[in-house]
Structure 1
Amino acid sequence: MTNTTYTKETHTPAAIRAAMDHLIDRATNFDIEALDTIYHDDFHTTLVMPDGSVMTYNKQAFKAHFAKQAEEGKTQLNTWADWHDFHVLGDSAVCVLSRIHSGMNGEEMKLLCNIEFRFEDDRWQVLREQIFLRPLSEG
């Protein structure tokens, strides 16, 4: 049986790519107001640092992390992304990508990301992020 949810214009890999492009643009410019609408109220992110330590943030704490960088006068972060996979299943979606920027720990690093979205309130919102940080030397 075909579920029309999967064929909606809003429920396509292209729509997830557009949501990710918007997230990258707004986060790399420290747009806290936009992040408030991009991140779901139940947002949770897990950062696995190169040494194996783990940091977690909820929505408010992660927005504060970006706000602190803006207050410190950081300029736009690197927007580079390498796209690996987009998968839409009903009102859930996952994007797997690699990024390079210094916004997580102040040092330019490669970030391996698994981003989970939920379609709610007529828009895709980031529900979960799992980010593995690696030195650029690891390729």
Structure 2
Amino acid sequence: MSRTDDQATAVKAVIERLIENVSSNTASILDDTYHDDMTVIMLSPEDEAIVLDKQQMTETVTKTLEQNNGAIGTWARFHHVSVNGDTAHVLLSRRNELTGPNQQITLGIDLVNQDNRWQITREVIVTRPVS
């Protein structure tokens, strides 16, 4: 396995750990994984763009956990993971309670390796009906 493959595996593990921890009501992982200058851009099924910063996204996830008795769901399908030096990109699909029943989200996630850890700098989320 090449160094780039090792890095891609490490980046994928960061996202898997985030999904697992949030899904088991350990939202504190968000502070370590979300970069302080993170931006989330969500496109709703109604084509409405919603832009959130780190604090707003953390509050959204925490509120959803509270409304769903600490459960969000772990279903994920990774489509692509790439690393270029200290930046990475992940493309994956998810089904969870954050977007509601019968919805699937596709996420484009940008990360930077800073302070000896991979941190999410941007998420672009598109919501669509489960196909």
Same fold by TM-score, threshold 0.5 exceeded? yes
Identity %: 28
1:8 offset after TM fit, Å? 7.2
Greater Cα radius of gyration, structure 1 or 2:
1
Equivalence for 1:100: 95
Q: CA RMSD in A?
A: 1.9
Q: Give the alignment's TM-score, normalised by structure 2.
A: 0.89
Equivalence for 1:20: 15
In structure 1, stretches of 5+ residues that fail to align are 1-5
1:27 offset after TM fit, Å? 2.5
State the SS of the aligned residue for 1:101. Answer: coil
- Kept in 1, the 8 Å contact 2:105–2:128? The answer is yes
What amino acid maps onto 2:65 in structure 1? Answer: A
- Kept in 2, the 8 Å contact 1:30–1:66? The answer is no
State the SS of the aligned residue for 1:12. Answer: helix
Equivalence for 1:86: 81
Equivalence for 1:70: 65
Aligned length: 130
1:63 offset after TM fit, Å? 0.8
1:73 offset after TM fit, Å? 4.6
What amino acid maps onto 1:51 in structure 2? Answer: E
Distance 1:98 1:81 in 2: 6
Distance 2:101 2:43 in 1: 14
Equivalence for 1:3: none
What amino acid maps onto 2:81 in structure 1? Answer: F
Q: Give the alignment's TM-score, normalised by structure 1.
A: 0.84
State the SS of the aligned residue for 2:73. Answer: coil
Are positions 1:116 and 2:110 aligned together?
A: yes
